[in-house]
Amino acid sequence: MKTKIKEIRLPEYVNIIIYSLLIGIAAGFSAVLFHKAIDYFNELFFEKTASGFFFLGALAVIVIPALGMIIQALMSNFFPNVAKKKGVGEVIKAVSIRGGFISVKTTIFHFFAPVICIGSGNTVGPEGPAALVGGGVASKLTQYLRLSDAQRRVLTAAGAGAAIAAIFNTPLGGIFFALEVILFNEIQASTFSALILSSVMASTVSRTLLGNRSVFHFVSPSAGTYEIFYLYIILGIFAGGFSIAFIKYTSGIKNFFNNFALKYMPRWLLMTIVGLIMGVCGYFYKEIFGVGYAGINSVLSGSLTWKVVLILFAMKFLLVPMILQSGGYGGTFAPALFMGACFGYLFALVVPFVFGVHVDKTAFVLISMGAFLGGINSIPIASILMIFEMTKDYTYILPLMLAVVITIIIVQVVIKDSVHLRSLYEQGYRFTSTRKANILGAITVADILVKDTAVIPEDISIMKLMSILINSPHHTFYTVNKEGKLTGTITENDIRPIILEYEQVREMLVARDIARKEVIKVFNTDSLDQVMKLFENYPVDEFPVTSIEEPEKIIGMVLKNDVIAAYNKENLKHNLAEGFARELKLFDKASFTKVADGFAIVERKIKKELIGKSIAESRIRNTYGLEVLMIKKEGSIYDNKNEMSVPDAGYVFSPDDVLLLFGTDENIAKTSDWE
């Protein structure tokens, strides 16, 4: 069947549309099944299982969360490698470094583990696991259809976003979740189309099977007049502070468990203790159990006292990191919404006493939910759209945007990166945000270095400098001292102010007097990705280049236009090569395929001397003049059973790597001794 599907020749854009619709349907059904499974296990634990502890009476609910944690501990013990591949971070790794590949084992495990965790009452959210399940289902479908790595990456991200859209019934939120978190805001026409179609289709499936209504119930309130919008700024400031505290507390709990608690007890015991703490909290305050949507609706309806709301806020704040960092499975979207609802309610209660203004509590609850959701999970646009889609009221947009933006600014100033990237950094992963960065990261300054630089002595007179300027094609001049060390730069803009007084100063000034002393320079070993970031931050068209051995001596310059040209050239080669690599899977199975006159794609086992080195360190581009397009573990590149990925510059070669190389016939011949 899949062969017949692949034989149908349709335009690429039409293929993406068809695949996106299929992914959306599959992700929608997986999200619905996930939702139903949580309800089933919740009933299984709290009705059927609890009856087995009849001798405990009402105290039986204390044991249930601990039982759920024990089951998760056993699952993690039996499947340790799969258990480590948690939540959104796993989807990011799959899309960024594994060509969108997520194994079936990972998908199945992370379907049942969080279902058991949430179903047994542990107070975490379903969205992170749902994203992994949606991405896993999409990945399996793309593997079955034998799509390219580029297509699989986009559609796996689309599957994750579609699952979020289905879980919250917010298609726009799902789209921008995938863009902001999974794809690092890399937007292309085909990518955006895939995200839109899959999220809309997943939401359609969810609404058809679960009902077309928001999970939160409230009477549409008033956000107030513009005169009170300053209150939303204050709300955003507090939300930012609590988001930072939550992130830092999560990190602290993780360190405490790993560096202290687990030295004195096994993980299953730690998880059991955390589960019992969860059970005790739930015994006294049932609203804290599970996802927490019922608790949020209780806050929205005003049926809880402020003391209870405050206690629930503190419990959620403290328990969620304990459950997740001890070994439980779940997400932080729903907990962020819960904490935001509690804080917004408390904030609205205080406002009349502090500011003398009577406000609608529901409005502050909803906007605070968006602020906490965005701050804790680093999703500004997605959080705004999710709350907007839940309320379906445009009047909330301005105050909602105001609160969320203030929260995000405060969090980013302190935390810098998103919580998902921070977690991956701690695991040793480094990600570049776009394909552009991946390509430029593999090219060094030395590859495009221009040696024809305008270097002048710093004590040269202005008269001589003007003469050089008139006759030189250069626009930037570099001053050096008698030892040849770089001391400053002079541009045409620096010279223009003295032209009006040229007659008075020409005998008095030398180049050193007008040169800029602060010189931004780069090393010849720096990547073009690093250089491009400098160009984005400084209004110049070139940088002087030095070497690590002699950092004060200029050896050339790197031009902004040359960096852009290098990217365009490499991007064209990658697009061409990826297209032919995709065709290789459909036709003959030779390990050498002609791409164009003088160019080819070849499969090579990794050379022994390169094992243990990164792509950047191995300098295959410089030594052999070849591009590493893909890497596969063992087997042939045409064997769809094995994992294949498009690596970045930091990928470290291992003994079982098989490389797909692209280049000229002459350069490919240089690798004949690798076999």
Within a domain: residue 435?
Answer: no
Whether residue 52 is found in the same domain as residue 9: yes
pLDDT in tens, 527-565: 887 888 788 777 788 889 998 888 888 888 888 888 888
**Domain final position from 368, 392, 426:** 426
Whether residue 522 is found in the same domain as residue 657: no
Residues 211-239, mean pLDDT to the nearest whole number:
83
pLDDT in tens, 156-188: 888 888 888 888 888 888 888 888 888 766 666
Whether residue 141 is found in the same domain as residue 86: yes
Please give the helix or strand (H or E) that residue 601 lies within, else none. Answer: strand 599-605
Q: How confident is the model at residue 636 (pLDDT cuts 50, 70, 90)?
A: very low
More confident residue, 393 or 482: 482
pTM reported for the whole predicted model: 0.70
Within a domain: residue 508?
Answer: yes
Neighbours of 528 (CB within 10 A): 27
Using DSSP, state whether 596 is helix, strand or coil.
strand
pLDDT in tens, 308-361: 999 999 999 999 999 999 999 998 999 999 999 999 999 999 999 998 888 888
Q: Taking 70 as the threshold, does the pLDDT of residue 32 lie above it?
A: yes
Whether residue 73 is found in the same domain as residue 201: yes
* N-terminal to C-terminal alpha carbon distance within the chain: 36
- What are the Cα distances from residue 477, in Å, to 95, 464, 536, 563? 44, 13, 21, 20
pLDDT of residue 642: 47
- CA 290 to CA 297: how far, in whole Å? 14
Q: Which amino acid is at 672?
A: S
Whether residue 194 is found in the same domain as residue 49: yes
Within a domain: residue 578?
Answer: no
- CA 9 to CA 350: how far, in whole Å? 64
- CA 385 to CA 161: how far, in whole Å? 13
Q: Which amino acid is at 12?
A: E
**Domain final position from 426, 461, 481:** 426
- 335: Cβ contacts below 8 Å, ≥ 6 apart: 123, 124, 125, 292, 316, 320, 376
The DSSP letter of residue 631 is E
Residues 281-291, mean pLDDT to the nearest whole number:
91
Within a domain: residue 303?
Answer: yes
φ/ψ of residue 33, rounded to 5 = -65, -40
Within a domain: residue 417?
Answer: yes
- CA 544 to CA 559: how far, in whole Å? 9
Task: List the CATH number of the domain containing 122.
Answer: 1.10.3080.10
pLDDT in tens, 378-393: 888 889 988 888 777 7
Whether residue 358 is found in the same domain as residue 402: yes
Whether residue 613 is found in the same domain as residue 524: no
Neighbours of 164 (CB within 10 A): 35
Contact 552, 486 (CB under 8 A): yes
Whether residue 555 is found in the same domain as residue 600: no
Q: What angle do CA 305, 406, 399 make, to 5 degrees?
A: 65
| % of the chain at pLDDT higher than 70 | 83
Whether residue 492 is found in the same domain as residue 619: no
Most confident of 69-73, 134-138, 658-662: 69-73
The DSSP letter of residue 671 is T
Angle between helices 267-284 and 60-78 (to 10 degrees): 150
Contact 639, 668 (CB under 8 A): no
- What are the Cα distances from residue 273, in Å, to 265, 418, 488? 11, 30, 64
Size of the chain, expressed as the number of residues it contains? 675
- What are the Cα distances from residue 576, in Å, to 580, 597, 600? 6, 13, 11
pLDDT of residue 179: 81
Within a domain: residue 219?
Answer: no
Within a domain: residue 569?
Answer: no
Whether residue 460 is found in the same domain as residue 607: no
- 204: Cβ contacts below 8 Å, ≥ 6 apart: 24, 28
Domain encompassing residue 50: 2-210
- CA 198 to CA 74: how far, in whole Å? 35
pLDDT of residue 395: 73
Within a domain: residue 572?
Answer: no
pLDDT of residue 190: 60
Using DSSP, state whether 456 is helix, strand or coil.
strand
Whether residue 552 is found in the same domain as residue 590: no
Domain count, the chain: 4
